[in-house]
Structures are given as structure tokens and as C-alpha cells.
Chain A
Amino acid sequence: QKEVEQNSGPLSVPEGAIASLNCTYSDRGSQSFFWYRQYSGKSPELIMSIYSNGDKEDGRFTAQLNKASQYVSLLIRDSQPSDSATYLCAVNRNFGNEKLTFGTGTRLTIIP
């Protein structure tokens, strides 16, 4: 079992709809959870971090965390073509300089 699992996609969503990206993790000691967006040929960009169970909203993005189920998701409302990218889920234990463990990413395509 991979430490952080994501559906590799591609996930296709019509413009204006809600895109839902999912991530599961195996380490129950994980405390910090991040979503990065990576456009083709570019480096990842941090878009959301979440540390507590529940929802965290930032503009069109909502991160949801359920530690009991070891599940974290990212919802993108009113999807735009510019949201087309690979989305990476990352977790760590939040111990000092603990490294991040990344999923392999989900490729999202927004269809105009």
C-alpha cells in the first residue's frame, strides 16, 4: 500500500461544475495535509493546507479532512479551464523538519 494514494485520473469536469479530488494516507500519525497544484512543465504551487478535521475554505477551494477515515479531499467550485493541472496531495507528521510524503497526483481537465 502506498503511503499517500490518489486517483491518477485524468479527471474531466465541465466548466462551472465542482471538481472533487480525493486522497487517502496510511500513516495515522500524520498531522499536516497539503494540496499543491502543478501545471505542466512548472513546479508545484501550494494552494491549501489543513490541520484539523472538518472543512477549510479559501475562495473557490475547500479542503476536507477526516483523520478517522484517513482521508483528505479538495473541492474546486465553479471550475475554470485555468484549473486544469495536476493536483498533488502531501502529508507529514509535523515533527520538526519532517519531509512531506507526496501522492502521485491527479490530473484534472476542465472542459469548456
Chain B
Amino acid sequence: GAVVSQHPSRVICKSGTSVKIECRSLDFQATTMFWYRQFPKQSLMLMATSNEGSKATYEQGVEKDKFLINHASLTLSTLTVTSAHPEDSSFYICTGKGFGNEQFFGPGTRLTVL
């Protein structure tokens, strides 16, 4: 299958700071990337859909000004958690979708906000 990477894999930050997470498709062009969040022992929650060169589409209840998404190229999307607070601590996962219909998950980024 196709490979998606995320960086960093783990980040700990102080409350009020901003954190940027990168998602890269390594061996395919991801026309669309999706960002998910998963709290412990809960299912995946889709946050937003990101298409290269256009604004992201956010799911209901997700604050677009707090979770900034940029999909500047066919291989890179970034999620910035602005003014992070402890309740934003979660496992953030991106997926890349190429020209087929399968989505490939990145390894995830575990965010801890103190």
C-alpha cells in the first residue's frame, strides 16, 4: 500500500502555544487528505477534508480558526492547533487519498497539552 508519514510522532506543549503537524504522502500524490482525531478508547472522528490548493472543509463542531489546515501541494498537508489547551490532547491522524478510492493512514501524532 501507499505510505503516509506524519511529523512529529509525539509532541508535548504548554497550554496556549500552537502546534503544527505535517502529513506527507511519500510515494503517491494525495489529491485529498483527511484529518482525524481519536480520544482514548474512542472511535475515529473526522475533523476536516483537505484538497490540494483549496480551503479545507470542516466537519460540524470543529472550529476552523482553531484547527488550521493547509494543503499546499499534492504531497503535503499541515494541521496547526492554535492556542492549544489540555482538552485538545488527543491522537491526530491524517490519511491520504490518491486517484483510487483507498485511504492510507499516517502513523499519527500524539499531542499532550500541559
Which residues of A come within 8 Å of B, CB atoms?
A: 32, 34, 36, 42-46, 49, 51, 88, 92, 94, 97, 99-100, 102-105
A97 CB contact (under 8 Å) in B31, B43, B93, B102: B31
Residues of chain A within 8 A of B49, CB atoms compared: 97, 99
Contact B101 A42 (CB under 8 A): no
Contact B108 A102 (CB under 8 A): no
Q: In which size bucket is the chain B interface?
A: 20 to 34
The 8 closest A-B pairs by CB, nearest first: A43-B108, A97-B32, A104-B43, A43-B105, A43-B93, A44-B105, A32-B101, A102-B44
- Give the Cβ gap from B24 to chain A, nearest Cβ, in Å: 14
Please report the C-alpha to C-alpha distance between residue A108 and residue B3 in the assembled complex, in whole angstroms. 26
Main secondary structure of the interface of B (DSSP, over half): strand
Contact A99 B105 (CB under 8 A): no
A100 CB contact (under 8 Å) in B103, B107, B108: B103
Which residues of B come within 8 Å of A, CB atoms?
A: 1, 31-32, 34, 43-44, 46, 49, 51, 91, 93, 97, 101-108
Contact B102 A34 (CB under 8 A): yes
- Give the Cβ gap from A77 to chain B, nearest Cβ, in Å: 21
Residues of chain B within 8 A of A32, CB atoms compared: 101
Contact A99 B102 (CB under 8 A): no
- Give the Cβ gap from B26 to chain A, nearest Cβ, in Å: 15
Please report the C-alpha to C-alpha distance between residue A78 and residue B77 in the assembled complex, in whole angstroms. 39
> Which residue of B is nearest A101, CB measured?
B46
